[in-house]
């Protein structure tokens, strides 16, 4: 609500607490997401196999 003396004046004091809080909260959520995801992946521990196509080998040119 506007006061009697400051009708339609721009805000002079900006609060940075809300944007910083949102940023810290999002960083915490991302960190928790990565930790929970890595916990699920570590329990299975699948072996990784890489298959190279037969045409991709480099042949020596004389």
Whether the model pTM is above 0.75: no
Note the pLDDT tens digit of each residue in 5-62: 667 767 777 788 999 999 999 999 999 999 998 887 766 556 777 888 777 556 655 5
Query: Structural domain of residue 25, as residue ranges?
Result: 18-42
22-35 burial, b if ≥16 CB within 10 A, otherwise e? eeeeeeeeeeeeee
Task: Specify if 23 maps to a domain.
Answer: yes
Question: Is residue 52 one of the residues assigned to a domain?
Answer: no
Measured distance CA(20)–CA(27) in Å, rounded: 11
With contact defined as beta carbons under 8 Å apart, do 36 and 30 qualify?
Answer: no
Residue 58 counted as domain residue = no
Read off the tokens for 37: 């995801």
In a domain, residue 24? The reply is yes
How many domains does the chain divide into?
Answer: 1
CA triple 12-14-17, angle to 5 deg: 160
């Amino acid at each position: 609500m506007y006061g009697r003396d400051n009708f339609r004046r721009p805000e002079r004091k900006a609060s940075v607490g809300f944007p910083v809080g949102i940023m810290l909260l999002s960083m915490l959520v991302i960190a928790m997401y990565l930790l929970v995801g890595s916990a699920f992946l570590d329990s299975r521990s699948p072996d990784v196999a890489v298959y190279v196509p037969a045409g991709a080998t480099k042949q020596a040119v004389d």
